[in-house]
Amino acid sequence: MKTFTLDEAQALLPVLESLLKRAIEAKQAAESLQEELQELSRRIFLSGGMRVNVADVRRRKAALDGLVQRAKDAVSEIDAIGVQVKDLETGLLDFPARLDGEVVLLCWKMGEERITHWHTLEAGFRGRQPIGDRFGRVRPDKPN
């Protein structure tokens, strides 16, 4: 598992925020398009059938598939960097780091200017703690 220093994680935020925004926007657009297609199916069902522009429906389904893939690709890019996407809805990311020989997670949420919290692997988001001076000593992939 790749680990990050606080400075390394902080330096990645602009790239990660861009990828995260891409994933979130694609996901939201896909959800909206999925709702439109479900509404069309509901109208067809309730009316007992109706004329449908099949070519238009195919285009919409292809667009939906493309949006879903775009979101997946952006999340995969974040994962390939070594950062964990914990919640796409809120834009929550965790960066594995080492603190006193233990792997912990530096925690960042979309909209925050800096990484200001961390938590243990077990504690999760609810166990977030403010970053203290101890993180100045964090080294990637090496116990302290």
Name the phi and psi angles at 89, rounded to 5. Answer: -60, -45
For residue 49, the tally of other CB atoms under 10 A from its CB is 7
Q: In terms of Cα–Cα distance, which of 66, 134, 49 is closest to 98?
A: 134
Instruction: Look at residue 50 in the predicted model and tell me its pLDDT.
Output: 65
Q: Residue ranges of the domains in the chain?
A: 13-82
Please tell me the distance from the alpha carbon of residue 115 to that of residue 95, in angstroms, as a whole number.
10
The pair of three-digit structure tokens given for residue 15, joined into one six-digit string: 């790239």
Residue with tokens 């509404």: 39
CA distances to 19, 110, 138 from 26, rounded to whole Å, are 11, 16, 35
| pTM across the whole model | 0.81
pLDDT per residue rounded down to tens, the chain (144 residues) = 899 999 999 999 999 999 999 999 999 999 999 999 998 887 777 766 667 777 888 899 999 999 999 999 999 999 999 999 999 999 999 999 999 889 999 999 999 999 999 999 998 888 899 998 777 644 444 443
